Structure formats: structure tokens, C-alpha cells
Structure 1
């Protein structure tokens, strides 16, 4: 009875310790608050620590000992006490990347990886620069997380991007399926009903695409916001101005073709983005993503141009969106003239810039598919 009581009272409490390394040193972060006079002993291949502080088990005496993988410079190793933690900087005797911190493969349960400071042998960035290990070293980091946690903890940014791309894929697939079913059932007669049938869901998907302008601004995707802004705004100009404001255009066959082209592009693009986030390279999908635009983009621009061109007489007749003098702002705007200028910009420089941009992206992404041993994985 007395023996059992003595064993319980002398139970050793160990704090959580997080470690990271560079080629030259080891850093440790001990999660203890209000530590009082820590007792630290550096030896050639070991570290012993004890103190009184506030940890996971409340105010208590905490201690741990580490038998290190290799030798350290105990004279050049030190620690610093903060209000909420204790940080160690341990200098390695010989610069080298250690495969683990401890001498034995078995890692104590209280020793964790400090993912905020984690480095790899190929890492050359500034140690003070904020890091995203999941992004910089995705495969290595996923392995570390799996070893540490037993499961993969996805970032909120990645979860959001998967959800966004999946929603857009479902939306454009719905539009394409409804159009296909109507055409199969009614043939060419269905074309006059397409705007009325799928116009609203397509508007929702198109408005949602403005998030793709914000994604590169906030670091969710690579690239710049200009190209997506021009593409999304160009489509929305046709959808919300040329079609929504002019009911006579809504029943034209060209509307069916332009909706079909937009949907075909997106039902390939969004699944491709999802596979890239999970580092899964499906050859056919990648080829389609960077090839299907070759026939569809010129056809889409042609259809958009036809819609704008055929709308010019309607806007001349209705004077819709035009501003005539005199008025209190002393400002005049002629919508038909604007459409003529917009049409010239769309067909000439707009088409050239878009096709050139996509051609460069295709060459960069697909250069390795037919290159045999020269295959690359550049994103």
C-alpha cells in the first residue's frame, strides 16, 4: 500500500517539446509557462532539463532527457526563457542533416516536430521568412504529418479551393447536361429555350468566378489577377449586358453555342485543378486542359462577337445604356459606338493576348509529355 502511494507521488511529468533543424543547429521549443530557474545540462550527445512551471498538468515539476543522434557543441548551445515557452538553440559539432533527433529510432511521445520551423536539406530560404511547409515540400510534409498525427491535416486554404472547384464543376456540368438533354429531346427547337432554362445557374457560376480574380491576390493560386479578370469580365459582359438586357437576343441559336462552349471548357478545367491540388497527374485530363481551348476559344470569341454585333442595332433602337446631351453631368455616352470599339478590341488584341497566353502555358505544361526522358513536372 505504501509502495503504491510512493510510486504515484513521484510520477515524472514531461512537457511537450517541439524540434526542428538546419544544417548547423537544432532548435527546441518547450511548452511551459512561468518557468522558474530551469536546470539545463548540455553534454556531448545529450540534453537534460528540469524546471518548475505551468504545463499540461498544471503547476508542477517537469523534466526530460534526450540522447541525441550525434555530437553537439555544448559550449555554443544555449537556451532562453520566455513567459510562455523555453527555446533552445543547440549547435551541431559537425554541420550535417540529421535523419532524426534521438539516438534511437523510437521517438518519445512528448517529442513533436515544429512544422513552423521545419527545414529540409534543399531549403535555402531565410530562416526568419514565414513558411508554409505543406506548400514548399508537400510530399515530405505530408509524410511528417502522417508520422506525427496518424492522419493528414489539410490546410483550410486547400479545403476551400477543393470545395470551390468542385462547386464550379458541378454547376457547369449541370448546365451542360440540361442543354444536352433538351437538345436530344427537342433537337434544334431547344436552342430558343436555352437562356430561359440554364441562364440563372450559369449567371451564378459566372459571378462566382470573380473569386478567381481574388485567389492570386491573396496567395491561394499562382499567377496574376489580370488574365482571369479579363476572361470573367468578358463573359459576364456578354451574359449580363448583351443577353439579359436584350430579350430578343436570348432566343438566338448563337446563345446555345456560346453556353455550350463555356461549359465544355470549365468541365475540363475544374477537375484538372482538383487533381493538381492532390498531386495527381492524369495524363488525359492534363492534355485536355491544355488542348481543348485550341478549337473552343476561337469559336467562343466568334460567338461572343456575333452576339455583340447583332446587338448593335437593338441598342441603337432602344438607346439602352446610352447617355445623351444635354444633362446635368454634361456627359455623353453612345452604347452602340462603345460596342463597335469593344468588338474591335475583342477580336484583335484580345484574341491575340489570350491565345498567346494559353499557347505558352500549353508549351510549358506539355513539353514533357512527348519528350520522353526529358519529361518535366513544372507547374
Structure 2
């Protein structure tokens, strides 16, 4: 793929993803503010969240084919863990999830993180990232990632008994998720902290993030 076309494609992908997650954030926030009912928030956002998150499958292929420098393994871990949540937990067991405020915390953490991340990537492709966006990209995750990942883990636990009794495959997936989540969280969080130190050190010296 020619480099200019690749850059334009990545710009389009990141801008589109940024606006999609912004729509999730605004929709969830307004619904919660107007209704105050967790079931309304879930019922009116879960389909949008499911398909917006599914779009992120493209990022695994971006890393595999060298469109970006991200590790395919790390990218796959992040994307697949969320797909388990939206297609496995939320889609299969809505009657359990729609009453829990954990879902709201999860999608708010996801959407804020993704709006910042995709905006950062889009600006980075133009060669000009505002300093405030660099700060948001490498600081907000310190709080938002534990909230998002913690909410994911709690939803897995919340549906564990029902999933265990549902069908054979769910026994394997839910058991694996319960065991892997703490280790995956530690690995990804420490990786992002390492990236944060490198980037902030570079930007202090006047380099490009």
C-alpha cells in the first residue's frame, strides 16, 4: 500500500472512531442525566457500543500488516478482551447487566479513553499534536484504565454463574477470562506506564510524541 494512501486511510479510521466513541459518551451521559435509570442507559447504548467496539478488529490487522508500530499481540489482547464483554457478557446476558451501574462506569471509561486516543492518533498523523492532547493521552489512562478494566472484570464475575450453567463453551471462556484478566491488566498497565515515561521524557526534550 502506498504510504500517502495508508496515512489517509489511518486518518479517516481514527477520526471516524473518535466521533463514534464521542457519540457513545454523549449518548450515555445524556441518558443517565435525563432518566437516571441504568436500564435505559444499557438498552439505548449497548447495540451502538457493541458495533463501535467491533470496528476495532481492524486495529489487529493494522498491527499485523505494519500500518502501525503496535504489537499485534498486545493489540489483540486489548481488542479481544472488550469483544468478550460486548458480545459475550452484555449481548448474551442483558437481563443481568442492564440493572448494574458497572456497565455505565465501563462505557464511560472506555469512551473517554477512546476519544482521547483516537484524537491523539489522528493529530499525530498530521504531525501536530496539541500539548494538552499529549497530556490527556498519557495521563488520563492512569485512572480510566483501572476503572474500565475493573468494570469489565466485575461484569465477568457477575455473569459467571449464569454463563457456567449456560453452555460448554461459556464455561471455558468465563473461566479463562477470570484467570487471565488480572495478569492481562498488570501487563497492559505496566506497558502503558512504560510508554508514558518514554513519551513524556521525549516531549520534554522537544521531540515528537
Please report the TM-score for the alignment, with normalisation by the length of structure 2. 0.92
Asked if the contact 2:25–2:111 (Cα under 8 Å) also holds between the matched residues in 1, the reply is yes
CA-based RMSD of the aligned residues comes to: 1.8
Equivalent residue for 2:13? 164
Pairing of 1:286-365 with structure 2 (within 5 A): 286-316=134-164, 319-322=165-168, 335-336=170-171, 338-347=173-182, 349-365=183-199
Matched, 1:218 2:49: no
Pairing of 1:129-144 with structure 2 (within 5 A): none
RCO comparison, higher one (Cα < 8 Å, 6+): 2
Asked if the contact 2:120–2:133 (Cα under 8 Å) also holds between the matched residues in 1, the reply is yes
Asked if the contact 1:195–1:255 (Cα under 8 Å) also holds between the matched residues in 2, the reply is yes
| Distance in 2 (alpha carbons) for counterparts of 1:157 and 1:287 | 27
What's the CA shift for 1:160? 0.8
What's the CA shift for 1:195? 2.3
Equivalent residue for 1:248? 95
Pairing of 1:4-43 with structure 2 (within 5 A): none
Asked if the contact 2:113–2:140 (Cα under 8 Å) also holds between the matched residues in 1, the reply is yes
| Distance in 2 (alpha carbons) for counterparts of 1:164 and 1:226 | 21
| Distance in 2 (alpha carbons) for counterparts of 1:203 and 1:238 | 9
Q: Which runs of 4+ in 1 moved over 3 A?
A: 335-338
Q: Cα deviation per residue 1:190-228 (whole Å; 9 max; x = unaligned)?
A: x21222111122122111101111112222111321111
| Distance in 2 (alpha carbons) for counterparts of 1:338 and 1:285 | 37
Asked if the contact 1:364–1:378 (Cα under 8 Å) also holds between the matched residues in 2, the reply is no
Matched, 1:377 2:207: yes
Higher helix fraction (1 or 2): 2
What's the CA shift for 1:320? 2.1
Matched, 1:208 2:55: yes
Asked if the contact 1:367–1:376 (Cα under 8 Å) also holds between the matched residues in 2, the reply is no
The 3-state SS of whatever aligns with 2:67 is coil
Equivalent residue for 1:277? 125
Higher strand fraction (1 or 2): 1
Q: Which has more radius of gyration?
A: 1
The 3-state SS of whatever aligns with 1:291 is coil
Pairing of 1:189-200 with structure 2 (within 5 A): 189=37, 191-200=38-47
| Distance in 2 (alpha carbons) for counterparts of 1:165 and 1:341 | 31
Q: Cα deviation per residue 1:153-188 (whole Å; 9 max; x = unaligned)?
A: xx111111111111101110111101111122122x
Asked if the contact 1:168–1:205 (Cα under 8 Å) also holds between the matched residues in 2, the reply is yes
> What stretches of structure 1 of length at least 5 have no aligned partner?
1-131, 135-154, 323-332
Alignment CA distance shift 1:246-1:159 (3 Å): same
Query: Size of the alignment, in residue pairs?
Result: 207
| Distance in 2 (alpha carbons) for counterparts of 1:281 and 1:264 | 18
Asked if the contact 2:46–2:90 (Cα under 8 Å) also holds between the matched residues in 1, the reply is no
